[in-house]
């Protein structure tokens, strides 16, 4: 496959996965209560839908779905697991935008959830999405094998919680409040948790879902770590280089807030160099997959993670 063809196929697949994720989220966030639920409060459901529908690149669902597809596994089950992951991602964005955290007015080119509704609703929207993500992942409709479902739930909790995304957010807040300069080592660690953990889970969940063997899981884990790190350095660089309209959120805010970024720790050129090296590492981790196993599309995802404009 030529590089140009892979890029074109990547865009087609990304947009197909984004549409499928949108439809799955739309169906999951319908007003009909599930067995065991009592009632879904309409205004609150509308706010949960506002926070999760109609925007976003859907890169995490894409990585999960395409990783499972490497092993010939596709369908509604993996799409449900992917939509659940997107719910966790959307919850993190809603909470991250709150006045107590980043205090942002704009997300995905629209008012943030607490601006469109109110703060209490936005906090509860995050809680609702977080909880529902585990419901959807653990539901037998997601995978027939209970050991796979249990493994997905465990990995999701480990990547999203205390020692993963939430822990990374805590380190980020501590770094922001500190007057000491941010070392590259500290920034790399916090970014691997805050942003990298969900991207790593996306890849690992695809492998777990498809019951990939240990060697394949190891290679995919290396890919997941590298693409997660590359994605966040690219984000640090975009915050400096991109304009707000393209970003769909406020630009230049990292420097204003003494954020622990790799641009601050390494300078713009150093951050660019690291970004490009990580993208190469991510692609190299996939070299062990034979031709025809569709690894090219995941390689292209690494390229996208570092060349995107938003
Ligand atoms: C429990 C208070 C509380 C917080 C939850 C807020 C939080 C933990 C974690 C923050 C995680 C976070 C917002 C990391 C930033 C990651 C990042 C670069 C997000 C943007 O991802 P994209 O570009 O966004 O994939 P789209 O809009 O395309 O989905």
Q: How far is the CA of 79 from the centre of ligand 1 (A)?
A: 20
The average pLDDT across 165-178 equals: 96
How confident is the model over 284-309, as pLDDT tens digits?
999 988 766 679 999 999 999 999 88
The pTM assigned to this predicted structure is 0.95
Contact at 8 Å (CB) between 178 and 257? no
pLDDT for the residue numbered 246? 76
Residue with CA closest to ligand 1 atom 13: 93
Contact at 8 Å (CB) between 290 and 216? no
How confident is the model over 228-286, as pLDDT tens digits?
999 999 999 999 987 777 777 777 778 777 889 999 999 999 999 999 999 999 999 99
How confident is the model over 10-63, as pLDDT tens digits?
999 999 999 999 999 999 999 999 999 999 999 999 999 999 999 999 999 999
pLDDT for the residue numbered 308? 86
Task: Give the pLDDT band of residue 3 (cuts 50, 70, 90).
Answer: low
Per-residue CA distances from 240 to 111, 123, 180, 228, 249 (Å): 22, 29, 21, 19, 13
The pocket around ligand 1, CB under 6 angstroms, is made up of: 56-57, 59, 89, 92-93, 95-96, 101, 108, 165-166, 169, 194-195, 235
List the one residue out of 203, 237, 241 whose CA is nearest residue 222. 203
Please give the mean pLDDT across all residues of the chain. 94
Query: Distance between CA 238 and CA 269 in Å, rounded?
Result: 13
Mutate-to-test residue for ligand 1 from 85, 194, 232, highest number of ligand atoms within 8 A of CB: 194
* Res. 1: pLDDT tops 60: no
Q: How far is the CA of 285 from the centre of ligand 1 (A)?
A: 25
Report the percent of the chain where pLDDT is more than 70.
Answer: 97
Residue with CA closest to ligand 1 atom 20: 93
Report the b/e string of 179-190 with b at 16+ CB within 10 A: eeebeeebbbbb
Q: Pick the residue with more confidence: 194 or 258?
A: 194
The average pLDDT across 181-187 equals: 93
How confident is the model over 60-90, as pLDDT tens digits?
999 999 999 999 999 999 999 999 999 999 9
Q: Determine the Cα angle at 277 with ends 274 and 281, to 5°.
A: 135
Task: Give the pLDDT band of residue 2 (cuts 50, 70, 90).
Answer: very low
Query: Distance between CA 157 and CA 3 in Å, rounded?
Result: 36
Q: How far is the CA of 126 from the centre of ligand 1 (A)?
A: 12
* Res. 179: pLDDT tops 80: yes
């Amino acid at each position: 496959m030529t590089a140009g063809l892979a890029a074109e196929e990547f865009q087609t697949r990304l947009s197909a996965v984004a549409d499928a994720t949108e439809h799955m989220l739309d169906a999951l966030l319908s007003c009909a209560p599930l067995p065991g639920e009592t009632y879904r409060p309409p205004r609150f459901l509308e706010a949960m839908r506002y926070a999760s529908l109609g925007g976003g690149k859907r890169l995490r669902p894409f990585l999960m779905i395409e990783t499972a597809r490497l092993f010939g596994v596709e369908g509604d089950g993996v799409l449900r697991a992917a939509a659940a992951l997107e719910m966790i991602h959307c919850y993190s964005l809603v909470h991250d935008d709150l006045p107590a955290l980043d205090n942002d007015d704009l997300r995905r080119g629209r008012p943030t959830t607490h601006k469109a509704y109110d703060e209490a609703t936005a906090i509860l929207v995050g809680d609702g999405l977080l909880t529902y993500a585990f419901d959807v992942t653990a539901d037998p409709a997601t995978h027939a094998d209970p050991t796979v479902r249990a493994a997905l739930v465990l990995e999701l909790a480990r990547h999203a919680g205390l020692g993963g995304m939430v822990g990374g957010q805590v380190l980020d807040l501590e770094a922001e409040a500190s007057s000491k300069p941010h070392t590259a080592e500290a920034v790399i660690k916090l970014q691997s948790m805050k942003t990298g953990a969900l991207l790593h889970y996306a890849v690992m969940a695809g492998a777990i879902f498809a019951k990939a063997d240990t060697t394949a899981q190891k290679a995919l884990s290396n890919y997941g770590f590298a693409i997660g790190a590359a994605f966040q350095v690219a984000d640090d660089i975009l915050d400096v280089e991109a304009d707000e309209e393209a970003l769909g959120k406020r630009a230049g805010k990292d420097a204003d807030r003494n954020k622990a970024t790799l641009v601050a720790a390494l300078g713009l050129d150093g951050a660019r160099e690291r970004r490009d090296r990580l993208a190469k590492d991510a692609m190299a981790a996939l070299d062990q997959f034979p031709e025809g196993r569709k690894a090219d599309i995941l390689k292209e995802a690494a390229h996208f993670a570092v060349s995107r404009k938003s």
